[in-house]
Amino acid sequence: MREWTEKNRRATLAVDRTAMAEIAVEFDDHIRTQLDARRGRPATDPTGALLEERLDGRPLSDEEIVSIIRNWSVAELGTIAASAGVVAGFLARHPDVQEQLRADPGLFDVATDEIQRMNSPFVASRRRVTVATEIAGTPLEAEDRVYVVWMSANRDPRVFGDPDEFRLDRDPADNLVYGRGKHYCPGARLARLELRVLFEELFSGTIVIAPGVQAPVPARCPAGGWSRLPVRLT
């Protein structure tokens, strides 16, 4: 899956649509192999449970199951990898915050939401306008395509005051790291748990996480976070 994610990331960055289509088929074939291994057996994992799921009395088609699993796994792998880098990079450059979190792990979820507000691992989502409307003085027609740039909204000075300032007392309702509305990230709680476990382990095996000698390289949009982040673990 890691190899696949890396290939997919490279094709997406290069906007190589042929490669992207081929890589998507590769993923679908991989999931179908997993489904074949589970057919006709009692479910022992979420993939098997999807084979037993009923929608309006009918089983889900392979295409539907592949699509669900694609959403869940691809949505997770890239964002979690990016967010681990975003948090590690911030803590390396802010030893005072790192010390605070090492001393009081209870602050971790609020702190990582705030760190990601400033440098979102998930940059933007696409939307199609369904009815003519106006947003902040800009008229939009039905069928217009728009980018919802979470990263930009998360730094709106009208909402956050000084958006570059790290603060643990901001209103969580303003934070758009995991989106908003009916497409709000269903993996938000899992993402927070994964980050907590990762940094618990990192903290327990180190005294300090510090910046590496080489400069970090920011990822290029549409990817968020860093494409390379050297850190020193002591």
Chain positions contacting ligand HEM, by CB under 6 A: 71-72, 75-76, 79-80, 83, 121-122, 125, 150, 177-179, 183, 185-187, 190-191
In the complex, minimum distance from the CB of residue 22 to ligand HEM, in angstroms, rounded to a whole number? 23
Block residue for tokens 């590496």: 212
Q: Which is nearer to ligand HEM, 160 or 178 (CB)?
A: 178
In the complex, minimum distance from the CB of residue 178 to ligand HEM, in angstroms, rounded to a whole number? 5
Q: Which is nearer to ligand HEM, 110 or 208 (CB)?
A: 110
Q: Are 100 and 107 in contact (CB under 8 A)?
A: yes
**What angle in degrees, to the nearest 10, is found between the helix axes of 108-118 and 95-103?**
160
In the complex, minimum distance from the CB of residue 122 to ligand HEM, in angstroms, rounded to a whole number? 4
In the complex, minimum distance from the CB of residue 126 to ligand HEM, in angstroms, rounded to a whole number? 7
* Cα 195 to Cα 115: distance, rounded to the nearest angstrom: 12
Kindly give, in sequence order, each residue whose CB lies less than 8 Å from that of residue 175, ignoring residues fewer than 6 positions away.
113, 114, 117, 154
Peptide bond before 95: cis, by omega within 30 degrees of 0? no
Question: DSSP secondary-structure letter at 181?
Answer: G
In the complex, minimum distance from the CB of residue 207 to ligand HEM, in angstroms, rounded to a whole number? 26
Q: Which is nearer to ligand HEM, 6 or 99 (CB)?
A: 6
Block residue for tokens 């958006």: 163
When CB distances to ligand HEM are compared, the closest residue is: 187
Q: Which is nearer to ligand HEM, 142 or 190 (CB)?
A: 190
In the complex, minimum distance from the CB of residue 73 to ligand HEM, in angstroms, rounded to a whole number? 7
What's the CA angle centered on 152, arms 80 and 123, to 5 degrees? 30
What is the number of H-type helices and E-type strands within the chain?
9, 10
Token pair for 30: 């991989």
* Cα 214 to Cα 223: distance, rounded to the nearest angstrom: 21
Q: Which is nearer to ligand HEM, 189 or 232 (CB)?
A: 189
* Cα 118 to Cα 99: distance, rounded to the nearest angstrom: 19
Q: Which is nearer to ligand HEM, 19 or 28 (CB)?
A: 28
